[in-house]
Each structure stands twice: as structure tokens, then as C-alpha cells.
């Protein structure tokens, strides 16, 4: 895949069209009304600015990964700990939630007689096998899933925006109460829009936040044009409610395709992200060396499949705690990305002595949004405990590797 635009879509949009993002989008539209659109624009601007700052540092050095940027500021063990905590729990928890959501959607929309969890496990097996394909073929599969999900959302959004059944005056009515969680939830939509997957393609992902802003602005407007805000705010599947109101049973079927393909794109994208992080850790002598030579391609997918299968089989997918675990993992990624951006701005300031004001402010705003999401959430106590446990566990793993690592490698790290 040689086209930078297609590659950007394949690698940057996996998470953006997942069912979890559609839930956040619908709930945000219900809570904030049309005010959600300018907030969405602010989130897109923040992630674009952060992505440019990270790219500027990486383009100055061909070997400067996000891990290396972070290590320059906080040290090797904290950088490895934050990387492990941000990526791998999110992959397993998101895969569990998204695959089960796909199973229920497939059962309710397409084949009522097909078991929910049967489809979820079938999809897990297929996605695991897909990971063994050569990268070129895997990216084509990812692009197909992204295009299917994004195209379905866009069709419903455009049609729904043009067939509004709620007067514009009612849409312009601002909500009486605004919560901090609703105001900051837009940040969770763009978590991977600025992530620089694969070092050879740096600087080509700035269009992803803009594209996501256009698509989701239309979708929010279409949803509000057909569904009462109160219902959008309280629904656990606002995307399905809106699609049925927009285009009837056809809209419901289109959204069913979006959910399944978006889940596949998210799981593949997250797995690719974790594979890259394993390679970065191995190249920096923070993980076994064979992982730097493509070992992650053969080891990570089976391990993730086993962990995800255990989570689904033990009933975690049907437990309310899964939502809290997943949101906590999303916040860990936001913490990681804020830290990488802040480290990048410090490197730029050290090298160039001048850094633009947006680049300085963006990571601080991301971190402020993270705190707002955390402390305004009803499960903030549980989320805080989960965050601490994940960070402590990842720190223990990173410290253990450094302890058993040969002293010669540790010397190389200090040079």
C-alpha cells in the first residue's frame, strides 16, 4: 500500500469507527446538544497539534520513536512502564467489549438463531489468523474494514442531516446542565488519531482528526435531528437508535455492518499498535531481542486471543465492571499520549529554543481533560484504583526485565 492517504486511513481510523466511540459520540450529543460539535473541533485541533509536535521530533531523527522521546524526559523504566500500561490492557479489554458487542449486534440485526458469543469467538479466531498475514495484506484488510465502517456512518450521517424531523430552533436549544464528563468526553474519540504507527510513515496522520471531525459532526447533527437528546444521553446503544430513526430497518442493517467492521478495524489497529510498541521496547533493550525481528507478529496475537477468550468465557463481557475497566484503560492511553507530547515539546524547546504556543498548551489541555473525565465519573474511585494497579503492575514488569537484563545492555542504554 503506497498511497499515504490510504495508509493513514488504515492505521489512524481503526479506533475512530468502533462501537465504543459511537456510544461516546451519541451520549455526548445527547448531553451537550450542538455544543458537542465545537468541542469536537477543539479535540481534533489538540490531537493535530500534538501529532505535529511528535512528528517534528521524530523527523529530526530516524530512530526517534515515541518511546525514545518519552525516555529522554522521564527515564527508561518509567517510559517502559507507561508504554506497557497504556497499550496492552487496552487491547485486551477493548477486544473483549467490542467483539461481544459485535456478537449481540449480529444476532439481533442479521441472524437471530446465531449464538451471540459464538459469533464473538468466531470473529476473535478470524482476527487472530489475519494477524499472521504479511503486513501489506493485513493493511488491505484493515483498510477494507475502516472503509466499510466509515462509509456506513457517512451514508447515515448525510442522509440524516438532510431529512431532519426536529426543528432547527429546537436543535439550537442549549442543555440546562453541563457535566465535566460530558464536556471532556470528546477527547476519548481521538485517542489514536495522532498515533504515529510505523516510523517510516511519520508526518502523514494530521488529516485523521480533521476527517473524524467532519464525519462525527455530521453524525451528531443527524442523530440530534431525529432523536431526543434525553434518549441519546441515556441510551447504551445511541447509534442503533439514531440509525433506525434515520433510515428505518435499512439504517439498522447499515449500522450493524458498521458495528462489526468497526470492531474488526479497532482490534486490528490496536494489535498493530501493540506490535509496534513491542518492537520499540525490544530495540531499546527493554524487552527480549527477538521481538525486534518480527517476533511480535507470531507471539502477540495468540496471547491476546487467549486472554480475550478467557475474559469472554468468564463472564467479564457481561459485567458492568468491563465499562469501567475499558474507560480506565482509555485514560491510561490519554495519559501516555499527553506525556509523549509534553516530552516532545521539551525536546523541541531544547533543540530550537522556540515552540509555538498551541504546542505548549495542547498537552496540558489533554491532561486537564483526562482529570475531568476521571474525577467527574461516577466510578472515579474504582477507576483510580484500576489506574494505580495497572501502573504498578507494568512498573514491576519493566523493573524485572531491567533486573534480569545483562549488564552490558544496561551500559548501552546509558551511553
| Residue 205 in this model has a pLDDT that exceeds 60 | no
* Torsion over CA: 263, 265, 267, 273 (sign): negative
pLDDT of residue 344: 87
CB atoms within 10 A of CB 335: 20
Chain Cα centroid distance, residue 350: 30
Res 158: pLDDT? 94
Length of the chain in residues, anyone?
415
pLDDT digit string, tens, across residues 292-344: 777 778 899 999 999 999 999 888 877 888 988 998 998 898 899 889 989 98
In the chain, what are the domains?
Answer: 4-406 (1.20.1740.10)
What would the pLDDT profile of 142-192 be if each residue is shown by its tens digit? 989 999 999 999 999 999 998 888 877 777 766 656 555 555 566 666 655
Residue 408 has pLDDT above 50, yes or no: no
Close Cβ partners of 26 (under 8 Å, ≥ 6 residues apart): 223, 232, 235, 238, 239, 241, 242
Read off φ and ψ for residue 198, nearest 5 degrees.
65, 115
Quickly list DSSP for 286-352: SS-GGGGGTHHHHHHHHHHHHHHHHHHHTTGGGSTHHHHHHHHHHHHHHHHHHHHHHHHHHHHHHHH
**Whether residue 195 has pLDDT greater than 80:** no
CA-CA distance, 307 to 299, in Å (whole number)?
Answer: 13
pLDDT in the model for residue 210: 80
User: Residue 298 in contact with residue 130, Cβ under 8 Å?
Assistant: no
How large is the average pLDDT for residues 271-288? 86
pLDDT band with cut points at 50, 70 and 90 for residue 387: very high
What is the band of 194 on the pLDDT scale with cuts at 50, 70, 90? very low
As to burial, measured by CB atoms within 10 angstroms (0-12 exposed, 13-18 middle, 19+ buried), residue 289 is exposed
- Biggest CA–CA distance in the chain, Å, is 70
Contact (Cβ atoms closer than 8 angstroms) between residue 139 and residue 1: yes
State the cell numbers at 404.
534480569
Q: How far apart are CA 303 and CA 296, in angstroms?
A: 10
Residue 6 has pLDDT above 70, yes or no: no
Amino acid at each position: 500500500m503506497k498511497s499515504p492517504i490510504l495508509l493513514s486511513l488504515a492505521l489512524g481510523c481503526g479506533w475512530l469507527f468502533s462501537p465504543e466511540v459511537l456510544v461516546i459520540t451519541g451520549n455526548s450529543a445527547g448531553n451537550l446538544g450542538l455544543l458537542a460539535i465545537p468541542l469536537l473541533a477543539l479535540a481534533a485541533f489538540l490531537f493535530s497539534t500534538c501529532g505535529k509536535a511528535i512528528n517534528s521530533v521524530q523527523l529530526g531523527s530516524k530512530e526517534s520513536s515515541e518511546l525514545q522521546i518519552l525516555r529522554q524526559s522521564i527515564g527508561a523504566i518509567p517510559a517502559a512502564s507507561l508504554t506497557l500500561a497504556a497499550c496492552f490492557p487496552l487491547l485486551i479489554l477493548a477486544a473483549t467489549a467490542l467483539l461481544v458487542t459485535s456478537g449481540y449486534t449480529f444476532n439481533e440485526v442479521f441472524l437471530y438463531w446465531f449464538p451471540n458469543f459464538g459469533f464473538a469467538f468466531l470473529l476473535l479466531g478470524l482476527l487472530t489468523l489475519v494477524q499472521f498475514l504479511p503486513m501489506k495484506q493485513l493493511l488491505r484488510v484493515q483498510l477494507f474494514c475502516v472503509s466499510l465502517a466509515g462509509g456506513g456512518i457517512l451514508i447515515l450521517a448525510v442522509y440524516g442531516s438532510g431529512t431532519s424531523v426536529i426543528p432547527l430552533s429546537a436543535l439550537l436549544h442549549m442543555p440546562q446542565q453541563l457535566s465535566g464528563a460530558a464536556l471532556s468526553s470528546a477527547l476519548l474519540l481521538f485517542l489514536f488519531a495522532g498515533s504515529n504507527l510505523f516510523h517510516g510513515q511519520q508526518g502523514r496522520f494530521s488529516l485523521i482528526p480533521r476527517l473524524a471531525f467532519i464525519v462525527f459532526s455530521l453524525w451528531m447533527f443527524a442523530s440530534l435531528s431525529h432523536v431526543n437528546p434525553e434518549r441519546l444521553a441515556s441510551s447504551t446503544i445511541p447509534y442503533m437508535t439514531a440509525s433506525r430513526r434515520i433510515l428505518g430497518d435499512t439504517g439498522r442493517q447499515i449500522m450493524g455492518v458498521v458495528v462489526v467492521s468497526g470492531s474488526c478495524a479497532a482490534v486490528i489497529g490496536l494489535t498493530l499498535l501493540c506490535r509496534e510498541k513491542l518492537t520499540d521496547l525490544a530495540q531499546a533493550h527493554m524487552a527480549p531481542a527477538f521481538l525486534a525481528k518480527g517476533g511480535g507478529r507470531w507471539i502477540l496475537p495468540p496471547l491476546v486471543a487467549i486472554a480475550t477468550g478467557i475474559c469472554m468465557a468468564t463472564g467479564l463481557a457481561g459485567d458492568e465492571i468491563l465499562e469501567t475497566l475499558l474507560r480506565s484503560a482509555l485514560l491510561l492511553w490519554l495519559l501516555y499520549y499527553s506525556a509523549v507530547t509534553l516530552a516532545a515539546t521539551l525536546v523541541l524547546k531544547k533543540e530550537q529554543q522556540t515552540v509555538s504556543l498551541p504546542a505548549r498548551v495542547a498537552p496540558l489541555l489533554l491532561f486537564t481533560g483526562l482529570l475531568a473525565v476521571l474525577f467527574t465519573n461516577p466510578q472515579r474511585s474504582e477507576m483510580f484504583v484500576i489506574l494505580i494497579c495497572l501502573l504498578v503492575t507494568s512498573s514491576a514488569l519493566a523493573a524485572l526485565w531491567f533486573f534480569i537484563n545483562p549488564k552490558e545492555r544496561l551500559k548501552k542504554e546509558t551511553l
